[in-house]
Chains A and B, each alone.
Chain A
């Protein structure tokens, strides 16, 4: 899957989870850039991403991912 397609699908997931149609993520996006992305919403986001791409993050990845770029790298390695 191309990076572009992954980011397009990720944008939809982010917009859905955070109820904000204006969100556009890139590889450097972190939780600091999205107001509602706190530790409570993080798991909802992770699970929504898992469902979108039909893959699973392990617990270590869930707690150590630093930005969307790292999330995309993991997604690419699993699909």
Chain B
């Protein structure tokens, strides 16, 4: 059920209507039933039911046991068992092929004449999201941050709350439980605000992202027909396509939740305006970063091993450099895990893991050098031009890493990088034809769409756009909402060639 499909729109409307006409104490059950329906809508079988039950029962039963035994030996054992089962299932369903590919590489390396066939595992939608969400639930109980949920059905709702199964964001039990379980009354302001956010999401996906997808998919799909600037354009456009798609999905998810009355954490804060990759990742997929920071990075850095490494490194390399070594090591582990989370393939590990680590590592060690150069050349780092240079540099670096994310294999990514530097020839469609499908107006919309991404970024950074619109009088307010709806209907990309169910982050 794609977020921009008619069936999802109908489903959401029905859920919202039933939610608000149901008595307060039963409202959470409406969310539970609709979430179970959504979870199994595309993929209903005994196999997928067992998958969901394993995660639910591990979280529920071990959650209660951890709460009871806390930091005792038994508590630790239940904690390891609960997390172990969820992790093993996730690894089995999502990462078997990564393991087999690695084995095949080793076989190749040692001249062993055997190839493991890759396998297809049928997994439920949102498995990478709900697995990590339930792991955080168990960790929070262990840390004493929250109490275990005694009602298994309420536990199921927390695990499967339908809007977030598609593309996140990651929720935490303590932050969301009250909103999920207490029934909300219909609120007109939340309704308008949520509706507006859904409209923004549709504009980002249907008008912007899908438009770019045509060009990106055509060029990436016919690499032999394109080279030089065409590949470069596809690479640069893919970042815009990915961002519009992902943040548009989040807008729809957050909008639906806002109408229901459930507050979800923000996942983006104008990442395209970031000056460094470090800052970029503070503004991009925020809830994933926060999850990894709280449950992997901090515990790792605070572990006895890292602390003794810290002491040893300080003795050998001095305080300043010494303290950085465990930090970089922890960062490296965390970034590789981020890469693995994005998918069971080396393209993801390099694109969203290794390269991001290298960028952030270089930014950190080169910062004093950059500072010296700027001081010596008397560069005004607060000037608009310098900030623009930083924004463009960050955009280019991120787009480069996304070549791996988008490519079908590492060798394919290398082929793409090489092609950028080849002569600007094409035997495929010219860029104008690609962007315009023959019409000047379509080409103009394509150019406007590019600017629109950045205009939205600037406006969102300056303040809450929806709040400002909703402060207008009723005529202006509804005029804007209708104008956006017409924008989506007239300029949205539909029909053959556009697949509304393709949400880039859904595959995770």
Contacts and interface: CB of A to CB of B under 8 A. Distances in A.
Interface of A: 19, 39-40, 42-44, 46-47, 58-60, 62-64
A19 to B, nearest CB: 8
Interface in B434-478: none
Contacts of B24: none
A62 B302 contact: yes
A59 B310 CA distance: 19
Contact of B302 (A39, A40, A43, A60): A43
B144 A58 contact: yes
A42 B302 CA distance: 10
A43 B144 contact: no
A46 B302 contact: yes
A40 B298 contact: no
Contact of A39 (B144, B145, B293): B293
A64 B310 CA distance: 24
Interface residues of B, number: 17
Interface string B267-296: 000000000000000000000000001100
A47 B310 CA distance: 11
Contacts of B301: 43
Contact of A59 (B302, B307, B320, B323): B302
Nearest to A62: B298
8 contacts: A39-B293, A42-B298, A58-B143, A59-B294, A59-B298, A60-B144, A63-B293, A64-B145
Interface of B: 140, 143-145, 293-294, 297-299, 301-302, 307, 310, 320, 323, 327, 331
Nearest to B145: A60
Contacts of B294: 59, 63
Contacts of B293: 39, 63
A49 B1 CA distance: 50
B327 A59 contact: no
A46 B293 CA distance: 15
Contacts of B320: 19
Per CB-CB distance, the 5 closest pairs between chain A and chain B, nearest first, are A60-B143, A43-B301, A60-B145, A63-B294, A59-B143
A42 B140 CA distance: 20
Nearest to A40: B327
A69 to B, nearest CB: 20
Nearest to A38: B278
A10 B173 CA distance: 33
Given A44-B327, A47-B310, 19 more contacts: A39-B293, A40-B331, A42-B298, A43-B301, A43-B302, A44-B310, A44-B323, A46-B302, A47-B307, A58-B144, A59-B143, A59-B298, A59-B299, A59-B302, A60-B140, A60-B143, A62-B298, A62-B302, A63-B294
A47 B306 CA distance: 11
